[in-house]
Each structure stands twice: as C-alpha cells, then as structure tokens.
Amino acid sequence: MKKLIWKIQYDSTPLVYRHCKKCGKKTHFKSSDQFRVNAQRQYLDIWLIYKCTKCNTTWNATIYSRISPQALTAEQLNQFQENDQVLARNYAFNSELLHKSGTECELPEFSVVGDDIITGEYAEVKLISEYILPIKISAVLRKKLHLSQKAYKELVENGRIKDRSDRNLLKSKLNLETVIVFLP
C-alpha cells in the first residue's frame, strides 16, 4: 500500500463579509495581520484589525475584551504588541471567532500539495490542514484528483474512496488531519 501526505495550502486568509460604514453596504474585509491592544485601567482589550477591500475603512474583530493582563503570559502579550504574523494568521483563520463577531466568513482559495496517486492504486492519504475551516473533504479530494462531483460520488458510493474513521465523505468537513483510503 502506498502512503502519501497531502497538505492543504491556503492562498490568503479568509475574507469576512460585513457592513462597511463608509461604503454604506456589506463588503469584504481583509485581515491587516495587525493587532490593537488597548489598556483600560486594570484590563486589556485586544482586537485583530480588518480593512475594507474597497475603501480601507478599518473594523476591529474582538479577540479579548476586558481581560486581566495577568491572564496572558508575557510572551503572549508581546506577540500581540509586536503584531506576530503567525498569531495574526491563526486568529484570521478562526472561523468560530469571526462568526461570534457577527460576520460571514468567505473561505479562501486553497491548493493541495503532494504526490498524485494513480487511478485504481491502493493508497492511504493523510490530508493535513494547518487550520480548521468548514471545507468539505469532497472539495479537497475533487480538486486534487480533478474529478467532477458525479465521478467523485460514484467512487464514494462504490467504496473505492473511504475515510479511515468511517465518516461520510460526501458531507464531512476537513479536520487538522484526515486519513483517506483509496481502493482499487
């Protein structure tokens, strides 16, 4: 059995769709990868700054509100103050946090990197995603294998593509790691 690893690489951070005060309508906002940290007496407020893609108006997505500075380590606080790019990207990909902020999240374009499999070959593929996003496994596999929805559905229904943990591959969403088995 051939064992492969396919990594999902995202072209950008997800865009959020919300009302822009300056544009007067709903538009897309993109993460600036910068934080705003505000001290109010004994408490901190921390936001990730987004910018409207049309007019550059900013919107602050709440990360922490009225949190005690002692609740964060010195390293964490420093990461926020120094606009750590990895940390900013992690928060920009946190669809649950953005949903709580009352926004709609638009999934980013992605590519699937890894060796191809030969049709009819017995193989086990580990799908690895750095972030949990509501992307269907079927979308990832169809993109990598260049399959139509109908062809993919036939392979799943005929048992030629299976999830190692027996999840429904027509409806299941991507996790950090997912193992898919391809049967001849």
pLDDT by position in tens, the chain (length 184):
899 999 999 999 999 999 999 999 999 999 999 999 998 888 999 999 999 999 999 999 999 999 998 999 999 999 999 999 999 999 999 988 888 888 888 989 999 999 998 877 899 999 999 998 889 999 999 999 999 999 999 999 999 999 999 999 999 998 899 999 999 8
Taking alpha carbons only, the member of 49, 37, 41, 134 closest to residue 95 is: 134
pLDDT of residue 49: 97
Rg (CA), the chain: 20
| CA 178/CA 115 separation, integer angstroms | 16
The pTM for the full model equals: 0.83
pLDDT of residue 89: 94
| CA 121/CA 4 separation, integer angstroms | 12
pLDDT of residue 43: 93
Question: What is the number of other CB atoms lying within 10 angstroms of the CB of residue 57?
Answer: 14
Burial class (CB in 10 A: 0-12, 13-18, 19+), 81: exposed
Identify the residue whose tokens are 């921390």: 46
pLDDT of residue 157: 94
Instruction: Tell me the one-letter amino acid at 79.
Output: Q
Identify the residue whose tokens are 């391809």: 182
CA distances from 37 to 14, 64, 78, 103 (A): 22, 9, 10, 21
pLDDT of residue 96: 85
Cβ pair 49, 32 in contact under 8 A: yes
